Amino acid sequence: MPASAAPKIITGNSNPALCAAIARRMSIHRGAKVELVDTRVERFNDGEIFVEVFENVRGEDMFIIQSTSNPANDNLMELLVMADALRRSSASRITAVIPYFGYARQDRRTKARTPITAKLVANMLVGAGIERVLTMDLHAAQIQGFFDIPVDNLYASPVFALDVAAQFAGRMDELMVVSPDVGGVARARELAKRIEAPLSIVDKRREKAGEVAEMTVIGDVTDKVCIIVDDICDTAGTLCKAAEVLIENGAKEVHSYITHGVLSGPACERITKSVMKSLVVTDSIAATAEVKATPNIRIVPTAPMFAQAILNISSGQSVSSLFELDTLMPIYEGTLGR
């Protein structure tokens, strides 16, 4: 059993702002101050990662908060080294809190002689001594089955539903949720159900990898305020093209809600020039200066949800209760719709 009633959190370099926010929210939820474990995560001259924990963690319930975003390899290795350091320091339990689970897009073999990196990363995490994973919006739900340890997959859709209700108050009857591809229909349907809006699909046809040859809108979007929902936005090419197609098919406005804003390469420039009125992403990936400077990108916080999930896991309470609006509304009060 843990030596203290409170979980202890530790972070690498991937998203320190989110980790600090989670600590603050945990302090609010518990009514007692939660601080990050004092740790040093540095590089040797040749790039090797060095971790030193300056506090006693023997018998403690430890939570490592680390997204495996860009630079994915460095951040993943930091997570593994931190887990090894905690395991060798006799931590009671090690939970990896991975807001953005990298390498998840390679979750199956799409052609001969290709890897399944999501399974490879799962094996590495378990091998490092991690006993539980907490993440958000896995690219494919079946990735949970790649682990032989418990995996709690949080969903951004309840938070998005709260934000939509705040942003589009008085216009809810104009909304239509849009899936940018057939594979994302389940995710889009979940948000559509929460905000009681109809559902449409943008069907993509590719002539070759990375190039969309044709897009067809399934459903009538005439005079609708369309909300595109997806889990990842990388270069934003397909997203911006989908927005154009929706406008061409009679949509009044297009907004997008994306869980993980990878936003690499020309993404910000494309989004700035896009017909999309807004792109909403979570802070699961630390925003770059370019992302923060893009006028039509808005960031919603995940710290309230992750903080409560960590507290629930530590105390043996339900995590799925966080999927309900009645549970989320009190902990998100005053943080959305701005």
- Residue found by looking up tokens 């590495």 in the block: 124
Ramachandran category for residue 333: left, alpha or beta (phi over 0 → left; psi -120 to 50 → alpha): beta
DSSP at 244: H
DSSP for 154-197, please give it: E-SHHHHHHHHHHHTTT-GGGEEEEESSGGGHHHHHHHHHHHT-
3-state SS class at 102: coil
The C-alpha atoms of residue 199 and residue 189 are separated, in whole angstroms, by: 7
The C-alpha atoms of residue 281 and residue 139 are separated, in whole angstroms, by: 15
Beta bridge partners of 229: 257
The values of phi and psi at residue 13, to 5°, are -105, 5
Ramachandran category for residue 132: left, alpha or beta (phi over 0 → left; psi -120 to 50 → alpha): beta
Instruction: Give the angle subtended at the CA of 136 by the CAs of 163 and 275, to the nearest 5°.
Output: 45
Three-class HEC string of 31-56? CCCCCECCEEEEECCCCCEEEEECCC
The C-alpha atoms of residue 255 and residue 201 are separated, in whole angstroms, by: 15
Q: How many other CB atoms are there within 10 angstroms of residue 20's CB atom?
A: 16
Catalytic choice (33, 204, 224, 273): 204
DSSP for 293-323, please give it: H-TTEEEE--HHHHHHHHHHHHHT--SGGGG
- Our answer to whether residue 277 is catalytic in this structure is no
Handedness of CA 323, 326, 331, 337 (dihedral sign): positive
State the catalytic residues. Answer: 204
